């Protein structure tokens, strides 16, 4: 199998779905291995900006931050794509399932990945994570708010020089720190284990504007699967199961002639 290209707006829930897909495929591989009591048929890889240590800022083309010649060359983003391409290429084979979690918003880039899979004689598919712009914006704003809060926290801790306290005051130091900014309601949309960095506001708006929707009529964006934010675990499993079937199950044969 196969390359699974995840695509979607910034902060639309791509990494969450990529992890769920990873867990799902892991259990399908384990099932088929147990049934045939042989070595695993597939190895599984999850590649993302995070695994390649690519910062959100590489996508930032804000005019106030970059001079025009840098913006047009768009070098940082090209370097990031080259790193991702290298990472995919290193592991992609008919025995390796690669989940590429990222914006993957440029159709030319998805075409390039499709060709790479074709070269390796293994199928590819696109999983689009659908989410309203408002919801994605809410997530990014929550991450911005969290970053601001943690920065304020760090600076207020830096200002409080620890001075030797008289014994009587020592007990008070164990009481809650009221200078610590509280997590606000905006942040409640984020899961507790969310640690992802936000995009700057202008970077976020720009990426929304530049997003090139996948088109299932083109070879490189098909087969196209979609999951939306509201899809429950049952719907999610159904979509993953169809993906597995097309890329590794019986229906795989129907995909192969297009390779």
Nearer to ligand ADP, 13 or 123 (CB): 13
**Contact between 190 and ligand ADP per CB under 6 A:** yes
**Contact between 194 and ligand ADP per CB under 6 A:** yes
**Contact between 229 and ligand ADP per CB under 6 A:** yes
**Contact between 128 and ligand ADP per CB under 6 A:** no
Nearest to 258 by CA among 215, 225, 218, 219: 219
**Contact between 4 and ligand ADP per CB under 6 A:** no
CB 3 within 8 A of CB 117: yes
Please select the residue that binds ligand ADP; options are 32, 112, 186, 196, rule is CB under 6 A. Answer: 196
Structure tokens at 116: 């790479």
CB of 190 to ligand ADP, least distance (A): 4
Which residues, other chains included, contact 187 with Cβ-Cβ below 8 Å and sequence gap of 6+? Answer: 142, 145, 146, 149
Nearer to ligand ADP, 45 or 146 (CB): 146
CB of 217 to ligand ADP, least distance (A): 25
Return the exposure string of 18-46: e unless at least 16 CB atoms fall within 10 Å of the residue's CB, then b.
bebbbebbeebbeebeeeeeeeeebebbb
CB of 234 to ligand ADP, least distance (A): 13
**Contact between 84 and ligand ADP per CB under 6 A:** no
**Contact between 139 and ligand ADP per CB under 6 A:** yes
Partners of 46 in beta bridges: 99
Stretch that binds ligand ADP, among 4-12, 90-98, 175-183, 211-219 (CB under 6 A): 4-12
SS3 label, residue 31:
helix
CB 97 within 8 A of CB 45: yes
CB of 137 to ligand ADP, least distance (A): 12
CB of 11 to ligand ADP, least distance (A): 4
Please select the residue that binds ligand ADP; options are 12, 104, 124, 203, rule is CB under 6 A. Answer: 12
Q: Where are the alpha helices (DSSP H) in the chain?
A: 14-36, 68-73, 75-91, 107-119, 133-159, 167-170, 201-210, 233-247, 252-255
**Residues in contact with ligand ADP by the rule CB under 6 A:** 8, 11-16, 139, 190-191, 194, 196, 229
């Amino acid at each position: 199998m196969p390359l699974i290209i995840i695509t979607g707006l910034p902060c639309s829930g791509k990494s969450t779905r990529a992890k769920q897909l990873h867990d799902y495929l892991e259990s399908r591989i384990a099932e088929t291995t147990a049934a045939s009591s042989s070595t695993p048929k597939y190895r599984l890889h999850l590649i993302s900006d995070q695994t390649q240590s690519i910062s959100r800022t590489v996508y930032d083309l804000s005019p106030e931050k970059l001079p025009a010649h840098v913006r047009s060359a768009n070098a940082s983003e090209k370097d990031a794509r080259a790193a991702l391409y290298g990472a995919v290429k290193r592991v992609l084979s008919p025995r390796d399932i690669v989940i590429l979690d990222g914006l993957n918003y440029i159709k030319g880039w998805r075409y390039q990945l499709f060709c790479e899979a074709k070269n390796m004689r293994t199928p590819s598919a696109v999983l689009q994570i659908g989410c309203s712009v408002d919801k994605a914006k809410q997530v990014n704003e929550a991450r911005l708010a969290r970053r601001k809060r943690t920065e304020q926290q760090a600076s207020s801790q830096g200002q409080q020089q620890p001075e030797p306290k008289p014994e009587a005051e020592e007990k008070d130091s164990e009481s809650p720190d009221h200078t610590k900014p509280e997590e606000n309601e905006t942040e409640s949309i984020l899961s507790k284990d969310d640690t992802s960095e936000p995009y700057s506001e202008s970077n976020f708006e720009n990426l929304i504007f530049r997003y090139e929707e996948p088109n299932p009529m083109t070879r490189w964006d098909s087969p196209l699967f979609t999951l939306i934010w509201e899809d429950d675990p049952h719907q999610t499993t159904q979509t993953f199961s169809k993906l597995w079937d097309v890329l590794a199950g019986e229906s795989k044969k129907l995909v192969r002639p297009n390779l």
